């Protein structure tokens, strides 16, 4: 796995509010591997066997509502086949 790079991304989402994580797929097109998977924050394993999402073929991942009144942290692992020194913009949208 020479040259592979992994990032952890934590998103704080308001409970009861749907949201989405959006990115510019063109930033990842040249990479052999560019994927994102949601992790269980307790085990750091894919959440309920979640399959990775290609960052090259999509521009958005919907974030479903969560119950309760507090912020719900969501943890994602981003795996890239080459080092990427600049990610222009990651943002959570209500």
Provide the pLDDT for residue 86: 54
Is 57 a member of any domain?
yes
Residue 83 or 34, more confident: 34
User: What is the count of structural domains for the chain?
Assistant: 1
Tens of pLDDT, residues 8-67: 998 888 878 888 888 888 888 888 899 999 998 888 999 887 889 999 999 999 888 776
Residue 10 within a domain: yes
Domain that holds residue 72: 5-80
CA distances, 29 to each of 20, 67, 79 (Å): 21, 36, 13
* 35, part of any domain: yes
pLDDT at residue number 94: 46
Give domain status of residue 74, yes or no. yes
Predicted pLDDT at 79? 92
Distance, in Å, from the CA atom of 3 to the CA atom of 14, rounded to the nearest integer, reads: 36
pTM of the model: 0.77
- 86, part of any domain: no
Mean pLDDT of 82-88: 61
């Amino acid at each position: 796995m020479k040259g592979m790079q992994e990032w952890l991304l934590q998103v704080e989402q308001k409970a009861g509010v749907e949201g989405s994580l959006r990115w510019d797929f063109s930033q990842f097109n040249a990479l052999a591997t560019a994927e994102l998977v949601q992790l269980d924050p307790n085990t750091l394993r894919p959440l309920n066997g979640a399959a990775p999402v290609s960052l090259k073929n999509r521009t958005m991942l919907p974030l479903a509502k969560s119950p309760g009144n507090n912020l719900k942290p969501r943890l994602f692992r981003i795996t890239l086949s080459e080092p990427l020194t600049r990610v222009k913009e990651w943002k959570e949208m209500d």
